[in-house]
Structure 1
Amino acid sequence: MDIATRVYNHKWKIDPIIRSLIDTDFYKLLMCQSVFRNKPDTQVTFSLINRSTSVPLARLIDEGELREQLDHIRSLRLSRGESTWLRGNTFYGKRQMFRSDFMEWFEELQLPAYHLERKGDQFELTFEGKWHEVMLWEIPALAVLMELRSRAILNDMRRFELQILYARAMTRVWEKIEKLRKIDGLGIADFGTRRRHSFLWQDWCAQAMIEGLGDAFTGTSNCLIAMRREVEAIGTNAHELPMVYSALAESDEQLARAPYDVLSDWHDEHDGNLRIILPDTYGTQGFLDNAPDWLVGWTGMRIDSGDPSKGAETAIRWWQERGEDPRQKRIIFSDGLDVDTIADLHAKFSGRAKVSFGWGTLLTNDFRGLVPGDGLAPFSLVCKAVSANGRPTVKLSDNPEKAMGPESEIARYKRVFEVGAQERMEVIV
């Protein structure tokens, strides 16, 4: 595919930013089914949060064009082929991962209305409604804003400039793949949908990983690309679940139990490699110290904030203290990864646990230094559940730079979850 020519000759109907309801991450659909089953009446608000305030999205992106792309997403419906793939494909070794009642609902889904308003140099973009409906806005909303920002920067570039730009970017990705080839026993997946440069670019990166890494490439989080390229769809669950469950708690005692209630529901629905603990929503150490015994039997743990080496050491120590062999457990690293970090972590923990990686933004959006002013450098944009049934949500993380929520609630959550001093780390993406 000649991406440069497609960009230069861009036609909206040929390349809408989101072209399918399954142009989303697999974990979103798994979580959506869980919410559909367990919390069908919960009302949730999602909101766009640009952590990189130096990137003036509302000055770069035309509001009318943004609305056009968002309206297009609301026009999408699940196709027959997509439904057949979800209903009939094997995911994580299991057929019929998605229940009939969930699929019947999904096949009729139209994403709910959005609220968009310009506030200075940023956009206020919110989605309100039933949790299992509005949650499916998160990934496409982020992908639209990231790609519109890319298009704004590329808009004035000529054909040959674009060809050279993409040639350099392709070379950069391939050089990274060549370094990864040297790592024995590597297992790595594409986790780059949310903050990708564009759909076409993510698809190209996935194909490069397929050809360059062979069996070391374990799959992609993007359902549409997984279906088209016939690779595994990868993903489990995210911080969204404990954030909303916790906001629904009526007391401090219920709040302290909420992160485990989430995993109890998940335990009833999934087994094997889908039983991956994400412990850092309210601090990893406290979560593990108070974890029920049945969680020790889960397959592994995902390290998604704070110092990844410290997080992995904490996981290994916890398993050992609970009488488990860490060598039989899986550790998934997924926070701000690039090739050197991947190599270092693999060298340090391979053999001590089953190590794998979810490689995100610096796979699918590493255009750093490739245009004047570095206007294509990735930045930190998120779309989070900010309230549930009218109560604010909170995330603490192992890195206080990622904390979100009202200050009074953050203080309360730190008290309930016994979170002490934390090390601040730069948020790369």
Structure 2
Amino acid sequence: MIVTSLLDTDLYKFSMMQVVLHQYPAAQVEYKFKCRNPGIDLVPYIDEIRAELAALCSLRFGEDELNYLRSWRFIKSDFVDFLGLFQLNAKYVHIAPAAAGNGEIEIRINGPWLHTILFEVPLLAIVNEVYFRNTQPALDLGEGRRRLHEKIALLRDSAGYQECRIADYGTRRRFSGAWHEEVVTALRDGLGPQLTGTSNVWLARKLELRPLGTLAHEYLQAHQALGPRLRDSQVAALEAWAKEYRGDLGIALSDVYGLSAFLRDFDMYFCKLFDGTRHDSGDPFDWGERVLAHYAANRVDPRSKVLVFSDGLNIPKVMQLYAHFRDRCQLAFGVGTNLTNDVGPTPLNIVIKMIRCNGQPVAKLSDSPGKNMCEDSAYVTYLRQVFQIPAPLEEDTH
């Protein structure tokens, strides 16, 4: 059994789920899986993935786990009470070979947002671990340990980087659950205060680390169907978040419509209200310069705000960004796949994205077109018109 606790997921799933319970309990959504690596044949592992899904759906939150969640100041008691009754249901998940017959698999999650939001992260972890334990059954993790300790030493021992801190963001694409725990334990023991925490709630609890996370793309995408009108959907999402958390969890995600559209909506009110912003696509140096300039233009001291970088980072890239932006703002770095799946074989680049909410298409139009995913090209065109986003030369809408 790969996933043995419903806490084995990322914190932002719980923070978003609480908003859904309180503000959008009737919303219906659809998610779609995609493997971005060419030539990966996952069809032979469908039965094994289904068996792991069934095991996942047998789990319930234990009383000690609920008490742990209840200890967080931003989690409300009625949400924990709901989780005490909660159980994932496999009827909302469809897994089958893709119609093209090319080795790809189709995974779709369709049902109430409140009852499907927790599928994404553990299901991606399951696909990863099933794939690698079948294709690399006798892999020697010595190479992974060597690479990991080199990364720890580079960050810890490089002069001038003692205040540069990272967090683990690697649950979704980890080599395995056991390797993930070994990695985070080594980071904790090797980096000390330079490790600020982990996005994984189960590991945070077990290893006595700080759980980290706020919101993800699906939250802002859903507001395309939930907000008052499409043009105001980003503002509606941020206001709903502020209504729920009253200043807690104050990191805004900036790339659902691209940075230019985000900055048009992220006015002085939001600049002052939110603690900072998170980068997840496009050039990080350009992004950071534009965000800092935006704060200054809105009479907000950039040094009081946090820039969170989380897009495909490795330790050298973290250090480059730290050297560039240090002393100009507060900095945070979330490193994922390069920590939890750098053991030799090429990692899987897999995602599960929301594609519909309440029967209508939703989409992400990030600053990295390869990250976009929507099944309705006409809707993507309309979304670009509404948010004044030029179309790139190439765009993946499938």
Q: TM-score range by the shorter chain?
A: over 0.9
Letter in 2 for 1:364: T
Question: The residue matched to 1:136 in structure 2 has which SS?
Answer: coil
Distance 1:131 1:293 in 2: 31
Distance 1:28 1:270 in 2: 15
- Give unmatched runs, 5+ long, in structure 2: none
Distance 1:348 1:363 in 2: 22
**Aligned in 2, Cα 1:379/1:154: closer, same or farther, shift over 3 Å?**
closer
Match of residue 275, structure 1, among 245, 250, 258: 250
Q: Which residue of 2 aligns with 1:130?
A: 112
Check if 1:347 corresponds to 2:323. Answer: yes
Contact in 2 for aligned 1:246/1:255 (Cα 8 Å): yes
Check if 1:295 corresponds to 2:270. Answer: yes
Contact in 2 for aligned 1:36/1:102 (Cα 8 Å): yes
**1:35 shift after superposition:** 0.9
**1:171 shift after superposition:** 0.9
Q: Which residue of 2 aligns with 1:418?
A: 388
**1:285 shift after superposition:** 1.2
Q: Which residue of 1 aligns with 2:86?
A: 109
Q: Which residue of 1 aligns with 2:185?
A: 207
Distance 2:33 2:109 in 1: 9
Deviations 1:28-61 (A, max 9, x none): 10000011111000011112112223222214x2
Residue correspondence of structure 1 range 113-262 to structure 2 within 5 A: 113=91, 114-119=93-98, 120=101, 121-155=103-137, 157=138, 162=139, 165-181=140-156, 182=158, 183-248=161-226, 254-262=229-237
Q: Which residue of 2 aligns with 1:385?
A: 354
Letter in 2 for 1:213: L
Residue correspondence of structure 1 range 20-99 to structure 2 within 5 A: 20-59=5-44, 61=45, 63-88=46-71, 90=72, 95=73, 97-99=74-76
Number of residue pairs matched by the alignment: 386
- Give unmatched runs, 5+ long, in structure 1: 1-15, 371-375
Distance 1:47 1:22 in 2: 22
**1:425 shift after superposition:** 11
TM-score (norm 1): 0.87
Contact in 2 for aligned 1:288/1:318 (Cα 8 Å): yes
Letter in 1 for 2:125: A
Contact in 2 for aligned 1:221/1:235 (Cα 8 Å): yes
Letter in 1 for 2:214: T
Give the 4+ runs in structure 1 shifted more than 4 A.
Answer: 421-426
**1:291 shift after superposition:** 2.8
Distance 2:280 2:203 in 1: 23
Letter in 2 for 1:42: A
Check if 1:407 corresponds to 2:366. Answer: no
Distance 1:423 1:230 in 2: 47
Deviations 1:360-393 (A, max 9, x none): 11110012xx3xxxxx211211011111111111
Distance 1:77 1:169 in 2: 33
Contact in 1 for aligned 2:234/2:265 (Cα 8 Å): no
Q: Which residue of 1 aligns with 2:335?
A: 359
Distance 2:393 2:288 in 1: 16
Q: CA RMSD in A?
A: 1.7
TM-score (norm 2): 0.93
Letter in 2 for 1:38: Q
Question: The residue matched to 1:274 in structure 2 has which SS?
Answer: coil
Letter in 1 for 2:357: A
**1:150 shift after superposition:** 0.9
